[in-house]
Copies of this chain bind each other. A is one copy, B any other.
Amino acid sequence: MGTDLRSVVETVGSLSTSDHKSVVSITLFVTLLCACIVIGHLLEESRWINESITALIIGLGTGVVILLLSGGKNTHLFVFSEDLFFIYLLPPIIFNAGFQVKKKQFFRNFATIMMFGAIGTLVSFTIISLGAIAIFDEMDLGLEIGDYLAIGAIFAATDSVCTLQVLCQDETPLLYSLVFGEGVVNDATSVVLFNAIQDFDLTRINSTIALQLIGNFIYLFISSTVLGVFLGLLSAYIIKKLYFGRHSTDREVAIMMLMAYLSYMSAELFYLSGILTVFFCGIVMSHYTWHNVTQNSRVTTKHTFATMSFVAETFIFLYVGIDTLDIEKWRVVSDSPRTSVEVSAILLGLILVGRAAFVFPLSFLSNFNKSPREKIDFKQQITIWWAGLMRGAVSMALAYNQFTRAGHTQLRGNAIMITSTITVVLFSTVVCGLITKPLVRFLMPSSKELNRSLSSEPVTPKSFSVPLLASQDSDSELFNGTGQASGANGDQVPAVHPIGLRMLLTTPTRTVHYYWRKFDDAFMRPVFGGRGFVPYVPGSPTEQSLHQWPAEEVKD
């Protein structure tokens, strides 16, 4: 403990050096972030470009400028620090994902999401790893078995931000929650996989080690989730009991942020998966804690979390863009450009295959015994497949973790893997990203129109879409199937709506959901707060702004 803390604090001390140089770099990054936001806003209406691509291109441009200013000599300019990423940038993104997720949709499709996110990622991982072993071993890159498994984990990590920016949560709730949920579970799974691989001596694989690996994986999954739920509930309990808002809104906001971050860091402290922990902490906080604070704190936390996530995401793409122009790693591979291109192409191919190998079979499985309304149709399957083709910051971070030591890429094999990762990330983000908007709009034509009208007129989407959907469904399907539309007051419905025999017979998840609701109302909410146990405010974090808008507008 003592020695730990000692160096620990030296680390904190080294968070910044007394140089003027850190000032230059921070100023540069903040300026570029502002530029990304402004330009991203101006390109909002664009048919092709999205925020990530904007940030990547600005980053690339900056990299070129720096390269030119340094006369092409200055190698190793920007180092992608995977710890900067995992300690500061990833937590707000994942927490916000949990905080803003539509819980009802998420848990209704929980089985499918877990299937895609966990099993799918494992399938993808296996195919990419096996493919890498089969093909790269021929090419004599000097990689070991651990490297191949790491490659599988690295390229199993998807980045579905691009697609989510185009999909409309209110229009295609099932699809949205599948893509979104899969993205989060996939992040967690691939990071957990990656860590599980690093912890084991993989030179001698046998069935015991394989079983241990699986056991380790399951242990990480469950204990991380439990820790996140526990800390979320703790924050709800503390805020409900102490009622900070009586004295200060700022204390409430501060404790919510700090507890959220604490959940991530404490998971890392116990060598668990911070991503899973902070995600479930976010869900619990939005279900209980968020309802226990004052109105102003609700607005503040909701938007602050979203803003931090947004800035972190932009920062990552900017960083990746600038880092791409680091000469050193390109110089190592410059004597064998063909190999590098080949490796990138093979990886892209493996990604395509690895993803197709689970999306279509698992969709088929998932469609089994479902009502036509809940089935994933072929166009949606293609969208899901496409949504997971992009590779992003998680892949970059894992690749740097595996293939660099202190930012340097001396070994030829390592250098090739780093440059290939960059190529895959750039290619998939820019090229696939550019095609995403047109493709999704081609596959779901109505999505775009409604999406547009909603985002430009955020005043009455709820009141507009609820009756619309209600009229086209039967009574019980309104309750079960259109939760996304009645989500705002859906939590109150079960109390007045009798549970039908038909419902019990359909799928078990619904029954679980029903009993959970009863348990929640009877035991959890009285202790931890939540909607209905504090002064009533319509809307959850996700719906809040929609509900609030009209009232605010009128008030003004």
Contacts and interface: CB of A to CB of B under 8 A. Distances in A.
A251 to B, nearest CB: 5
Contacts of A268: 20, 23, 27
A498 interface: no
A30 B303 contact: no
A204 interface: no
Contact of A251 (B14, B242, B310, B455): B310
Given A250-B307, A536-B556, 20 more contacts: A3-B74, A4-B24, A7-B19, A10-B79, A11-B17, A11-B22, A12-B26, A12-B29, A15-B81, A16-B87, A17-B83, A18-B401, A23-B268, A27-B265, A27-B269, A34-B262, A38-B238, A38-B255, A42-B242, A254-B310
A6 interface: yes
A20 B297 CA distance: 33
A8 B34 contact: no
Interface residues of A, number: 103
B81 A13 contact: yes
Interface in A292-306: 295-297, 299-300, 302-304, 306
Contact of A259 (B20, B34, B248, B556): B34
A250 B69 contact: no
Contacts of A84: 12-13, 15-16
A21 B7 contact: yes
Interface stretch (A101-109, A423-431, A433-441, A547-555): A547-555
Please give the count of copies of this chain that the complex contains.
2
Given A41-B247, A296-B548, A407 B13 contact: yes
Contacts of A33: 254, 258
Nearest to A261: B30
A304 B4 contact: no
A453 interface: no
Interface string A258-297: 1101100110110000000000000000000000000111
A242 B77 contact: no
Interface in A331-373: none
B262 A37 contact: no
A501 interface: no
Contacts of A37: 244, 251, 254-255, 258
Interface of A: 1-31, 33-34, 37-38, 40-42, 44, 66, 69-71, 73-74, 76-84, 87-88, 238, 242, 244, 246-251, 253-255, 257-259, 261-262, 265-266, 268-269, 295-297, 299-300, 302-304, 306-307, 310-311, 401, 407, 455-456, 535-537, 545, 548, 551-553, 555-556
A249 to B, nearest CB: 5
Contacts of A300: 299-300, 302-304, 307
B79 A38 contact: no
Contacts of A242: 38, 41-42
Contacts of A41: 242, 244, 247-248, 251
Q: Majority SS of interface residues in chain A?
A: helix
A456 B66 contact: no
Contacts of A74: 2-3, 5-6
Contact of A9 (B78, B306, B551): B78
Given A7-B21, A18-B83, A296-B548, A265 B30 contact: yes
Contacts of A25: 5, 8-9, 11-12
A238 to B, nearest CB: 7
Nearest to A326: B9
Contacts of A255: 34, 37-38
8 contacts: A6-B70, A6-B76, A11-B22, A13-B78, A17-B83, A18-B401, A297-B303, A555-B555
A27 to B, nearest CB: 4
A8 B259 CA distance: 32
B18 A11 contact: no
Residue of A38, A258, A268, A306 with most chain B CB atoms under a 10 A cut-off: A258
A295 B257 contact: no
Contacts of A73: 2
A14 B12 contact: no
Given A4-B24, A14-B14, A303-B300, A535 B551 contact: no
B306 A455 contact: no
A31 B259 CA distance: 8
A154 to B, nearest CB: 17
Contacts of A306: 249-250
* Chain A to chain B: the 8 pairs with minimum beta-carbon distance, closest first: A2-B70, A8-B25, A16-B83, A13-B79, A300-B303, A8-B21, A11-B22, A27-B265
